[in-house]
Amino acid sequence: MKFRVATQNVSGIKEYFIQLLKRNITYREFKALDDVSFDVYKGEVVGIIGTNGSGKSTILKIVSGVLRPTEGTVKVDRKKVQLLTLGTGFDMELTGRENVYLNGAIIGYSREFLDAHYDEIVAFAELEDFMDEKVKNYSSGMVSRLGFAIATAGDAAEILILDEVLSVGDEFFRKKSLARVKEMIHGGSTVLLVSHSMPTIKENCSKVVWIEKGKLRMIGKPELVCKAYQQMRETPQTTSTKASEVS
């Protein structure tokens, strides 16, 4: 996956177009993913790990169809895919109640579904007294809780993609959200899970894919891959980026 990144910083859209007309805008190519390939089989729970900026979320967006890869192909039935990611699809000027319907529609829920699950969403987010407040007055934790409650309101899809949805709210709510996700994971779905929590990865995944700075580093059993990843984090070193597969 390649992106074009502007080499100049501009202060806004007007300034951007002025510089563009003057032909002062130049670009560099950024390769977010480089020759990354792996298989996910029916019923597997596959964890994807790597340091920030390594391309984890990018690969999830490609699999779910949000992004089209620059090269290569993804073989997946996207009608069976549900991508759960937090922090998108909220209008800060709308109330919590209005955002349930806005965000739910973006995810793909019908009005009838949201009507039927509205009370459940609010109760899970623990925001009963705040749904008629504008979301701009919410704390970041409240916004995250509401986003998580909306995203996990429905039955789990056949293919479930979870992008850092377990780092939500305070310790109590994180435990509750983890329990909800475990129900979804172990309900028969095939799962792709991005998380920085190694205990979560090791406890729930049957296989782990390690992507580092856009390159595939290792595929294998959670204990082995997580151990190699943690050793790299503790003792950074420049080594070959050739992928290895462990069993």
The domains located in the chain, with CATH, are: 1-31 (no CATH), 32-245 (3.40.50.300)
Alpha helices in 79-211 (DSSP H): 96-107, 111-125, 140-151, 171-185, 198-204
CA angle at 90 for the pair 86 and 96, rounded to the nearest 5°:
105
Q: What is the pLDDT along the chain (247 residues), one digit of tens a residue?
A: 999 877 777 667 777 777 777 777 777 889 999 999 999 999 899 999 999 999 999 999 999 888 999 999 999 998 888 887 766 678 999 999 999 999 888 877 899 999 999 999 999 999 999 999 999 999 988 988 898 899 888 777 889 888 877 666 677 888 888 888 888 877 888 999 998 889 989 988 999 999 999 999 999 999 999 999 999 988 855 544 456 666 5
DSSP code, position 94: S
User: What pTM does this model have?
Assistant: 0.76
Tokens matching residue 174: 């994180």
